[in-house]
Amino acid sequence: MAQIIVVTSGKGGVGKTTTTAALGAALARNGQNVAVVDFDVGLRNLDLVMGVERRVVFDLINVVQGDATLHQALIRDKRCETLSILPASQTRDKDSLTAEGVSRVMEELREKFDWVLCDSPAGIERGAQLAMHHADHAVIVTNPEVSSVRDSDRIVGMLDSRTARAEQGERVEKHLLLTRYDPARAARDEMLSVDDVIDILSVPLLGVVPESEDVLKASNVGAPVTLAAPNSAPAKAYFEAVRRLEGEELPVSIPTEKRGLLDFIFKKRGA
Amino acid sequence: MSFLDNFFSRKRPSSSTVARNRLQILLAHERGVSGEDDTNLLRTLHREILEVLARHVSVDQDNVNIKLDRGQNCSTLEIDIQVPETGLRAQVSTSASDLK
Ligand SMILES: Nc1ncnc2c1ncn2[C@@H]1O[C@H](COP(=O)(O)OP(=O)(O)O)[C@@H](O)[C@H]1O
Ligand SMILES: [Mg+2]
């Protein structure tokens, strides 16, 4: 029986798709059976970030409507045997995702995998609500910036009222993932601090992912950053987050300005 | 106390401090106003207050206004009831009279 995680944020462009791919691949690397599901109908991107865009035949809507079986639509990752992707449709009308259809697909996924990660569309409308409805856990992706924090707050409210768990009087377990964190700007007090965001949202911290060009490079070549550059700073943050999701208790590392020996030498030379 | 610190040190607060303070005020407001729970609470209060009033005085339902203002440290519930002069003198009895 899988744990279902929704990766959500309200605001667009904060790093949901990047995070879904990175966490999914990291869990799979730990030997877990993982499905990542793209709920961003119309603007699908997860297939691209995962590098399987040319292998898409069927999608979530086909399965929801019964035109394809789940087995036909799932794409197995070539780098990581235990990782599968269920892509979203790019063309079809998003109203064709019915609540009952989605429930049926999620139940089937729950039986086949250990973890199911749902990449939510931006916004707080129907699409985002469908993506979160069956979740046991929510990874709330937030940038240290006012509009992102505000939107995350709306999402927190919806997780507490509009999900299957909420309807049964239970709770979706919420985790705050701060991404695109810039240590240099944080040091200059130009950015909300990690503590500020935790304080304002009152959601426990799952991890802090630094702003890094390794993320961009990974998406250029179509690989989750945890597979493309497993030793990079963002990948380490994602691997740490996954250990915490798996129940391990370990302190969250906050990225600091990287002033390695090399930087130091080059600085000296340049001066 | 960061506000006072900034005030006394006469330093301009950093932009991250400004961001935090703005967010705290905004979210305290939004959590209250847009919260469905609050809307439900206000509707229920409105209905029940009218029911109680109707047993003793005649009040139009438009003349009962309830406002909830959620602040960071304390909230105010404002109930404004306008009673027509004749209404107050009306039936003071325990039997419920119909409003509409
Ligand atoms: N930690 C990061 N460092 C640098 N760029 C990032 C990081 N996380 C995400 N991005 C970039 O930000 C953009 C939006 O990310 P994406 O995951 O598509 O967001 P969303 O799915 O929330 O809209 C992409 O170009 C992505 O490469
Ligand atoms: Mg996305």
Neighbours of ion ligand 2 (CB under 5 A): A 16-17
Interface test with B, best of A143, A152, A156, A192 (most B CBs within 10 A): A192
B18 is a domain residue: yes
Whether residue A145 has pLDDT greater than 50: yes
Pick from A124, A152, A153 the residue to mutate for testing the B interface (most B CBs within 10 Å): A153
Q: Give mean pLDDT, residues A96-112.
A: 95
Asked if residue A44 has pLDDT above 70, the reply is yes
Testing ligand 1's pocket by substitution, the residue of A20, A36, A215, A239 carrying the most ligand atoms inside 8 A of its CB is A215
Question: Smallest Cα–Cα separation from A23: which of A7, A38, A11, A9?
Answer: A7
Greater confidence, A73 or B2? A73
Rounded to a whole number of angstroms, the distance from the CA of A146 to the nearest CA of chain B is 6
Q: Give residue B82's identity as a one-letter amino acid code.
A: Q
Identify the domain containing residue B93 by its residue range.
9-99
pLDDT for the residue numbered B77: 85
By the 10 Å C-beta count (0-12 exposed, 13-18 middle, 19+ buried), A54 is classed as exposed
Looking up residue A176, the CATH number of its domain turns out to be 3.40.50.300
**Least confident residue range of A155-164, A243-252, B57-66:** B57-66
Tell me how many domains chain A contains: 1
Range with top average pLDDT, A152-166, A247-261, B21-35: A152-166
The answer to whether position B3 is within a domain reads no
Taking all residues of chain A, what is their mean pLDDT, rounded to a whole number? 93
Q: What is the DSSP string of B46-67?
A: HHHHHHHHHTTS---GGGEEEE
Whether A190 and chain B come into contact, CB under 8 Å, resolves to: yes
Mean predicted confidence (pLDDT) in A8-17: 96
Residue A107's H or E segment, with its range, is helix A99-112
Does position A175 have pLDDT exceeding 80, yes or no? yes
Nearest to B30 by CA among A162, A146, A141: A146
Ligand 2 centroid to A40 CA: how many Å?
7
Q: Which of A37-46, A254-263, B29-38, B43-52 has the highest mean pLDDT?
A: A37-46
Q: How many CA atoms lie within 13 A of A263 on its CB side?
A: 4
- ipTM for this model: 0.75
Among chain B, residues having any CB pair with chain A shorter than 8 Å are 14-17, 19-20, 22-24, 26-27, 30-31, 34-36
pLDDT above 90 for A113 = yes
- The number of distinct structural domains making up chain B is 1
A192·B19 Cβ contact <8 A: yes
Sign of the dihedral through C-alpha A185, A190, A191, A196: positive
pLDDT at residue A271 greater than cutoff 60: no
Low-confidence ranges of chain B (pLDDT < 50): 1, 94-100
Q: Are A140 and A201 in contact (CB under 8 A)?
A: yes
Range of the structural domain that residue A33 is part of: 3-270
Residue A77: pLDDT band (50, 70, 90) is very high
Q: Give yes or no for residue A194 having a pLDDT over 80.
A: yes
Query: Which of ligand 1's atoms lies nearest the C-alpha of A216?
Result: 27
Q: How far is the CA of B63 from the centre of ligand 2 (A)?
A: 49
* Domain contains B20: yes
Q: For residue B59, how many C-alpha atoms fall within 13 Å in the half-sphere facing its CB?
A: 22
Per residue in A203-217, pLDDT (tens digit) is 999 999 999 999 999
Torsion of CA B19, B20, B26, B31, to 10 degrees: 140
Nearest to B27 among A191, A193, A200 (CB): A200
Min mean pLDDT across A105-114, A179-188, B81-90 is at B81-90
Residue A222 Cβ inside 6 Å of ligand 1? The answer reads no
Instruction: Decide whether any atom of ligand 1 lies within 6 Å of the A209 Cβ.
Output: yes
Q: Which residues of B touch A160 (CB under 8 A)?
A: none
Q: Which residue of B has its CA nearest to A154?
A: B31
What pLDDT shows up at residue B95? 47
Predicted pLDDT of residue B13: 77
Q: Do A191 and B16 touch (CB under 8 A)?
A: yes
